[in-house]
Amino acid sequence: MYKIKLFAVLSLLLVFGPKVFSQYPERILTLDASIRQALNINHDILINKQSVLFAEQRIKKTKTLYYPVINFNLNVSKFSNDIPTVINSESLPSVTYLPSGTQDLYYSNRLSLWQTIYNGGRTSATNELAKVSLSQVKNKSDIKTNEVIAEVKTSFYKIILIQEKIKLYRQTIEILSKNKRLLNDENNLKDKLEICEYEYGIQMLDFLNLIGLGLDTVIELSGSIETDNLDLNIDQCILWAYQFRPEMKNTQYQETIDGIEVNLLTMEKYPTIMFGTSYDWLMGDSRGIEKDWYISLNLNVPIFDGGSLFAKIKEKKIQARQATLERSKEEEKIKLQVRKAFAKYSFWYEKASKNTEPSKQKDIIKNLEEQIYKMDVKYNYLKSLFELELAIGRQISELNLKLAE
């Protein structure tokens, strides 16, 4: 008999065990862990990181303009000439005269050095342009980071809200099931519970996709919906937005880039001075070893290009003025976003602050409705706070705000 019972238990575990245990969470995530997970896997952020690496390499590339260019050339050739020939080829270090006749082998070596001494400041301006471009690329990455953080926070607390609703519905249904006279109310709550469970499944899929986990991963979120009374005012929020919003910095970087590009075009009118030196070894069958060297100082002065340079400078100046107008436009856009976000935050904060007292309803259905209403208000308060953080460009926790008394 004991063996039969043991066999029956093992059979049940084999059949139903995988389904039961698969519902246990594989991971328990807090809000901070969810944000870190999302930032590590988001494709746009990963692409921006590669753009940052590319911009850093451009800086290293522009720094090489300060150093001389040193070349070593080795060439071996074979010729057959009916008449004397002058060789002027990219493969040879210099113009070379060869007499008539057959030449089995011709050797040439050259070691040369060229260094720019003066080019009107173009080298330093190019280096500065690369540095500003790097800051602009990092700034664009910050824009996406802020958006991802806001999305994760909103989705995280949306799931917490639905979980709490499901818990309340189940508790209430359990109480109503003991009273057959409230069967109609029980059925209504079961319908609402089914809707909540459906919404939970859809929201969880979106959340898993957002943080980069497999869509079949079973997770549990650890957190609660709480509200804090923060000392915020609209003027301070607008100042923070002007200071921290990446979009605002982006227009400033673009103005700087346009100014540097105008200067670079203007510098093309300035002369270029270069220093060069080389040492050659030449050897062929019909001649002995020859050694040549030279040192030169080269000056190049642009005189006339048909007005092309002036047209380019004028074009860049127009672009610079456009960047200034874009910054003014962005300021107004950010101010509007902050005001709308702050108005929404203030509205839901006021609603949340009026719903701190425990429910006094004796009717179980009305008590449930009141609790769900308070939870919705708290969630909307948190959602409005996250939208305000996105409008400011900083997390409220980073600003070290004091709780309002």
107-151 per-position pLDDT tens digit: 778 888 999 999 989 999 999 999 999 999 998 889 999 999 999
Residues shown for the chain: 405
SS3 62: helix
Residue 137, in any domain of the structure: yes
Whether the per-residue pLDDT at 3 is higher than 50: the answer is: no
Residue 145, in any domain of the structure: yes
CATH of the domain at 178: 1.20.1600.10
135 and 55 Cβ atoms separated by less than 8 Å: no
Residue 19 pLDDT level (bands cut at 50, 70, 90) = very low
Question: Radius of gyration (Cα) for the chain, nearest Å?
Answer: 37
123: buried, middle or exposed (CB in 10 Å: 19+, 13-18, 0-12)?
middle
Q: What's residue 91's pLDDT?
A: 59
Domain holding 204, by residue range, is: 26-68+120-271+304-399
Q: Return the higher-pLDDT residue of 330 and 92.
A: 330
Residue 94, in any domain of the structure: no
Residue 380, in any domain of the structure: yes
Q: Where is average pLDDT lowest: 264-278, 279-293, 389-403?
A: 279-293
Distance of CA 324 to the CA centre of its chain: 24
Tell me the pTM.
0.75
From the list 390, 336, 16, 388, the residue with the least C-alpha distance to 228 is: 388
| Mean pLDDT of the 306-317 span | 86
Tally of CA atoms within 13 A in the half-sphere of 49 that contains its CB: 9
Helix (H) or strand (E) holding 2: helix 2-21
Domain count along the chain: 1
39 and 153 Cβ atoms separated by less than 8 Å: no
From the list 51, 392, 15, the residue with the least C-alpha distance to 232 is: 392
Q: What's residue 185's pLDDT?
A: 76
Q: Where is average pLDDT lowest: 2-6, 54-58, 157-161, 282-286?
A: 2-6
Residues of the chain above pLDDT 90, percent: 40
| Mean pLDDT of the 319-345 span | 91
Residue 246, in any domain of the structure: yes
Residue 297, in any domain of the structure: no
Residue 168, in any domain of the structure: yes
Residue 278, in any domain of the structure: no
